[in-house]
Structure 1
Amino acid sequence: MSPARKGPRLALLNPIDPDLPIAERELALRLARATAGIGWDAAILSRSAQVEAMNPDAVLCLHPQVSGKLTAHPWLACYWNPPALMTGVSGNTRLHGQAFELTHDAYLVSGPTLAAHLTGLMTGSVRNPPTLPFHVSSPRSDLAPNLGPHSRLFYVGSNWDGRRYPSLLRRLAEAGALALYGTAERWSHLPEAYQGPLPFDGSSVIAAAHYQGMGLCLHLPLHRADGVPNMRVFELAAAGAVIIADRHPFIREWFGDTVLYVDLDEGEEAGAAHILEQVAWVHAHPAQARAMAAAAQNIFNRHLCLEALLAPLPGLLAELAQRRPRPRSGARVAVLLPGDGDPGPRLAQLRRQAGDGLSVTALVPGVADRVPPDSVAGVDIQALPESAGLIALTGAMGDADLLAVLPDGVEWHPGHLAALAAAVGRAGAALANGLWRRGGEDQGFPIDPEEDRAMPSPDAVPVAAERRLERAWLRAGGLACGGERLRDLQAKGGLEGGDWLDLALALAPALAVTGGLNPLPVPTLRLVRPPLPDPARAARLRPWACVPVEKDADQPPRLTGLNDLNPEIAASIPYLWRPADLDQLPTVGPIWLYGAGLGGELVLQGLPDAARVRLRGFLDSRRQGGFLDRPLVRPQDVDPREMAEATIIIAAQYVSDILRVLRQGVAPALVLNAYPYIAARQAEAQKAAVRASRL
């Protein structure tokens, strides 16, 4: 006899391309190590087909803004990204992400701010999903503190965020206090501190931090504002390293005085000075510093390691099982089976949906010659006349509590009807979410290219005309309407004549217009095969009451880079965003572009001729020489009289630090923030590249 399993079988879903060396890959590997240590079964997957084949007890989705729920299993969203991270992405990406994150059955949430945000998202969705505290942590560890004379600050970076903290890290590197790891391209500007790459294998990062004996943990301002910790503090604690961190509320609450803190509010130069002071203290007090590292690791192992965070998971899954929608005893559901397709497979689906207090009646047009005699057990059959209409439909329903629609080619997940019956009273209406084959639309994330299933695009995203009927098919398959609501719609008139498929496709838009539909975001159906193209039928589809296509906002989504230590300072100066903004530059005085990189190049390309003539060159806080055949100088090298008359255009992501530098000398006549312009041009270039790749 095989031994009983100790816990749930988990699919650890990394929906982003699994070959990319990013945090989701590393986290999946660490979760796999932790679950193996507990004695649970877990597998790292990236496609819904793999989940179906594994048939796990639950799916942990490591990036729920990239992928919604894609199978009938319980899906748990690992919810640890600050919501403001989505504000700088394209409208299409943001709408997809918000739609995806709503679809999960439960949420593993990093902190009370994210929990409150999630509660707000659920308003109006007739849902109150369970949650569990969770963080991007590491497995339990017994690595002893390794601080010694060789120790430098461990810091690892990926490629996604450009040159993070350029002045701060350069100062630490020049002082010999920094040990940088990651790709060579990532740290080519700091060769004196670069130690080499690290494989994303779940353990090498922690091993390197252990070797160095101390490490630097810095957060984006967004993480500090929302109280969400990143991976660094957990892996440094697991490594037994002395932790030097910014004043993050989570770290202060959990680790207290076992961590050394630094202030970053005064900018990168001041922040680097604070860090070097703490490094000097560590080397002067090694025994005390090692004791602090051991104490931090003890806190981590008792409360914050992955094994401790996962311990309540079986209870959460048991709660989900108890919450499984169950209709009230004796609930009666009438299901319309429109179209000319064989009703036999759909009747078989209805047999699987019936039971547990739910009785089902199938409403079948032309029933006499279309229903095999062996396919009706457990399901009542009611004939419909050939001519469609609400009068005939409500008459055939009789005293049923609920109407649902099951077109040919739609597959309902187990419990679909029970979920609808539990969410919709006799006077309500709801629309459940569905899944279809993933198309080529840009969702803004590097999803595994072999993933073949996705949620429908949000209503606010324009859809190609050939997909309108396919989307309407899913809507029809997820529709639930109470008997009283349907009779009220009938009393308003309309929806008479034509065939039953026309009526099925028109019901949801008609209900939305006349009284609204409750959204049920958790997908409970999927499109097995798309309907045959029918331009005539698509042209007859009613307009859908939905969110209008998003227009340009009044201001850009972000005024400075993600890593800017004081993003609020960027709001104190005017900004350039749209190309027409550059036509409004002052007509007199010299112009300097502060930023000798891609940002400076993009702004230079956009300058009108009149402004280009007055462009003196580029500014940089440290470098001198030339850039794009123009002078590159430091602000202090500019003649004070010229600076007093100059327009300075900040063409970089660190707006607050550049403003600090400019305010140390003669104030320019005007300082403008071009980061929004640069970000918008980069987004346009990315979209163009995606379009070109599909040609």
Structure 2
Amino acid sequence: MNECHKKRNKIYQACLVSLCMFGTLSNVIGEASKNLKLEVKLSPNLCGEQKANYRIMITNHPAAFGEVQAVQRLTKAASNLGWEWAIIECLDKQPDYVSQIKPNFVVSLRAEIAPVPGAIHLLYLHVPMFMYVNKEGVFRNKDYPNVLNYDGFLSVVPDAEPIRLAYEAQNHKKFYNVHTVFSVQTTDFKDTPKTRLCHWGCIWDKARGSDHYQRFYQLLDQTGYFDLYGHPSSWVKMNLTSYRGLLPVDDHTVVDTIANCGIALVLHSHEHIKGRVPTSRIFEAAAASAVIICDHHPFVEKEFGDSVLYVDPNQDPEKVFAQIDAHVKWVHENPDKAIQLAKRSHTIFMERFTLENELLKIAKLYESMSEK
């Protein structure tokens, strides 16, 4: 694991809120093994006999901040589809749950988790591909020993070719893969006033934590229209009066908060841009019916086009601030046009990127694997 990945893990661990956000249950289905420490949450409609179209199991360890929130949203979207679901932390340490719950498939959010027998296992590939490969572009199996043992893949990365080559060379079987994103569940459009600028999240990379970025955060802090949310480890040291604290890590509060502000500032790390992997912030902002101000990211420009207002954070901080401030003032001065702009990005989200649609894509992949 390279230094960038280690640093990301360390900061994500610092961002981790208690596992109580999942809840802990003492009973699963039938008689659970008394030797296991249960870290489990089940959908209300899950019972011994499967009645939904799909029963899925989600596992996530180590429990990094972004992935914790993704799990909350996945289960909410699954419930919206009428699916049954179970969250099992550290499934590779508690494999008996597969035989007890009998899921159609297991979704892992972290490559540290080893697949266990008894179900089809799908792994999210959401780390930029350059972190998975060496200088020659070859997959680093020694650093990611579990990856090639999965049955299929959910690629947030745009190109999983190095992993496909390594997988087929080792396993001599078909590489099952579908492109997907870490999005949020479906929302209704809200034509609420677009008055305040919202920025949220954790800083785990050098760019967004640099003096360069801090300078235009400080300038935004002086405007009176800026609301900043995230883990204290990222923001308290900047002494910004616009810092509002950490939002609850659930399936709706982030989107609700952005909606109440009306304008969203989305900034990617250099790793996001180099790896062409979008942050979930873009989907949260679109789902919230916000006017989106975003840096130049290939995915955003391709998929959201001119429904987004763009800035170049690589310029001098004063120029970056001026771009953001000009966009905010345009929104304030053109409320009807701003609502139409927000409606366009929300429509793109609803037509292409709702988490319910992403889950249906995953189910289709599972069906193709089951037919083999």
Larger Rg: 1
Bigger drift between 212-221 and 157-166 goes to 157-166
1:158 aligns with 2:202: yes
Q: Matches of 2:158 and 2:165 in 1, distance apart? A: 12
Work out whether residues 242 and 259 of structure 1, in 8 Å CA contact, stay in contact via their aligned partners in 2.
yes
2:56 corresponds to: 10
1:118 aligns with 2:163: yes
1:601 corresponds to: none
2:79 corresponds to: 36
Return the offset for 1:74: 0.7
Q: How has the CA–CA distance of structure 1 residues 104 and 267 changed in structure 2, closer, same or farther, with 3 Å as cutoff?
A: farther
1:289 aligns with 2:338: yes
1:247 corresponds to: 296
Return the offset for 1:268: 3.9
Q: Matches of 1:178 and 1:298 in 2, distance apart? A: 26
Q: Please tell me the root mean square deviation across aligned C-alpha atoms, in Å.
A: 2.5
1:433 corresponds to: none
Identity of aligned residues (%): 28
Q: Matches of 2:310 and 2:66 in 1, distance apart? A: 24
> What are the Cα deviations for residues 635-676 of structure 1, in whole angstroms up to 9, with x where unaligned?
xxxxxxxxxxxxxxxxxxxxxxxxxxxxxxxxxxxxxxxxxx
Q: How has the CA–CA distance of structure 1 residues 97 and 294 changed in structure 2, closer, same or farther, with 3 Å as cutoff?
A: farther
Q: Matches of 1:59 and 1:3 in 2, distance apart? A: 18
Work out whether residues 266 and 293 of structure 2, in 8 Å CA contact, stay in contact via their aligned partners in 1.
yes
Q: Matches of 1:70 and 1:160 in 2, distance apart? A: 31
TM-score by length of 2: 0.76
2:101 corresponds to: 54
Q: How does 1:381-392 map to 2 (within 5 A)?
A: none
Which residue among 218, 235, 244 is the counterpart of 1:170?
218
Work out whether residues 217 and 233 of structure 1, in 8 Å CA contact, stay in contact via their aligned partners in 2.
yes
Q: How has the CA–CA distance of structure 1 residues 228 and 161 changed in structure 2, closer, same or farther, with 3 Å as cutoff?
A: closer
2:6 corresponds to: none
Q: Matches of 1:87 and 1:220 in 2, distance apart? A: 19
* DSSP 3-state at the match of 2:358: helix
Q: Matches of 1:87 and 1:127 in 2, distance apart? A: 21
Q: Matches of 2:290 and 2:168 in 1, distance apart? A: 43
Equivalent residue letter for 1:264: P
2:24 corresponds to: none
Work out whether residues 139 and 307 of structure 1, in 8 Å CA contact, stay in contact via their aligned partners in 2.
yes
Q: Matches of 2:110 and 2:149 in 1, distance apart? A: 12
> What are the Cα deviations for residues 587-621 of structure 1, in whole angstroms up to 9, with x where unaligned?
xxxxxxxxxxxxxxxxxxxxxxxxxxxxxxxxxxx
1:445 corresponds to: none
1:182 aligns with 2:230: yes
2:69 corresponds to: 26
Q: Matches of 1:4 and 1:62 in 2, distance apart? A: 24
Return the offset for 1:28: 0.2
Q: How does 1:210-249 map to 2 (within 5 A)?
A: 210-249=259-298
Q: How has the CA–CA distance of structure 1 residues 183 and 225 changed in structure 2, closer, same or farther, with 3 Å as cutoff?
A: closer
Return the offset for 1:63: 1.7
Bigger drift between 284-293 and 104-113 goes to 104-113
Return the offset for 1:6: 4.0
2:23 corresponds to: none
Work out whether residues 213 and 242 of structure 1, in 8 Å CA contact, stay in contact via their aligned partners in 2.
yes
> What are the Cα deviations for residues 181-218 of structure 1, in whole angstroms up to 9, with x where unaligned?
12334322233111222110121111111111111111
Q: Matches of 1:159 and 1:259 in 2, distance apart? A: 23
> What are the Cα deviations for residues 210-231 of structure 1, in whole angstroms up to 9, with x where unaligned?
1111111111122122221111
Return the offset for 1:281: 1.5
Work out whether residues 244 and 262 of structure 1, in 8 Å CA contact, stay in contact via their aligned partners in 2.
yes
Q: Matches of 1:112 and 1:86 in 2, distance apart? A: 13
Stretches of structure 2 lacking an aligned partner (at least 5 in a row): 1-47, 135-139
1:141 aligns with 2:141: no
Q: How has the CA–CA distance of structure 1 residues 128 and 274 changed in structure 2, closer, same or farther, with 3 Å as cutoff?
A: farther
Equivalent residue letter for 1:285: N
Q: How has the CA–CA distance of structure 1 residues 130 and 186 changed in structure 2, closer, same or farther, with 3 Å as cutoff?
A: same
Return the offset for 1:143: 4.1
Which residue among 107, 119, 123 is the counterpart of 1:77?
123
2:241 corresponds to: 192
Q: Matches of 1:36 and 1:274 in 2, distance apart? A: 41
TM-score by length of 1: 0.42
Equivalent residue letter for 1:122: Y
1:130 aligns with 2:176: yes
Return the offset for 1:110: 1.9
What is the aligned residue count? 310
Return the offset for 1:161: 4.4
> What are the Cα deviations for residues 49-88 of structure 1, in whole angstroms up to 9, with x where unaligned?
2444322111111122x22323331111111210334689
Q: How has the CA–CA distance of structure 1 residues 312 and 154 changed in structure 2, closer, same or farther, with 3 Å as cutoff?
A: same
* DSSP 3-state at the match of 2:247: coil
Equivalent residue letter for 2:358: L
Equivalent residue letter for 2:120: P
Equivalent residue letter for 1:275: I
Return the offset for 1:282: 1.4
Q: Matches of 2:327 and 2:163 in 1, distance apart? A: 37
1:273 corresponds to: 322
* DSSP 3-state at the match of 1:98: coil
Q: Matches of 2:322 and 2:133 in 1, distance apart? A: 32
1:428 corresponds to: none
Q: Matches of 1:279 and 1:143 in 2, distance apart? A: 20
Stretches of structure 1 lacking an aligned partner (at least 5 in a row): 89-93, 324-695
1:340 corresponds to: none
Work out whether residues 173 and 190 of structure 1, in 8 Å CA contact, stay in contact via their aligned partners in 2.
no
Q: Matches of 1:120 and 1:268 in 2, distance apart? A: 43
Work out whether residues 85 and 222 of structure 1, in 8 Å CA contact, stay in contact via their aligned partners in 2.
no
Q: How does 1:298-309 map to 2 (within 5 A)?
A: 298-309=347-358
> What are the Cα deviations for residues 554-589 of structure 1, in whole angstroms up to 9, with x where unaligned?
xxxxxxxxxxxxxxxxxxxxxxxxxxxxxxxxxxxx
Q: Matches of 2:141 and 2:215 in 1, distance apart? A: 35
Q: Matches of 2:303 and 2:323 in 1, distance apart? A: 22
Work out whether residues 59 and 75 of structure 1, in 8 Å CA contact, stay in contact via their aligned partners in 2.
yes
Q: Matches of 1:257 and 1:72 in 2, distance apart? A: 47
Q: Matches of 1:257 and 1:210 in 2, distance apart? A: 20
Work out whether residues 145 and 213 of structure 1, in 8 Å CA contact, stay in contact via their aligned partners in 2.
no
Work out whether residues 147 and 241 of structure 1, in 8 Å CA contact, stay in contact via their aligned partners in 2.
no
- RCO higher in structure (CA 8 A, sep ≥6): 2
Q: Matches of 1:108 and 1:231 in 2, distance apart? A: 15
Q: How has the CA–CA distance of structure 1 residues 39 and 102 changed in structure 2, closer, same or farther, with 3 Å as cutoff?
A: same
Work out whether residues 56 and 107 of structure 2, in 8 Å CA contact, stay in contact via their aligned partners in 1.
yes
Q: How does 1:369-408 map to 2 (within 5 A)?
A: none
Q: How has the CA–CA distance of structure 1 residues 237 and 245 changed in structure 2, closer, same or farther, with 3 Å as cutoff?
A: same
Q: How has the CA–CA distance of structure 1 residues 277 and 124 changed in structure 2, closer, same or farther, with 3 Å as cutoff?
A: same
Return the offset for 1:292: 1.0
1:63 corresponds to: 110
Bigger drift between 244-253 and 42-51 goes to 42-51
Q: Matches of 2:203 and 2:268 in 1, distance apart? A: 16
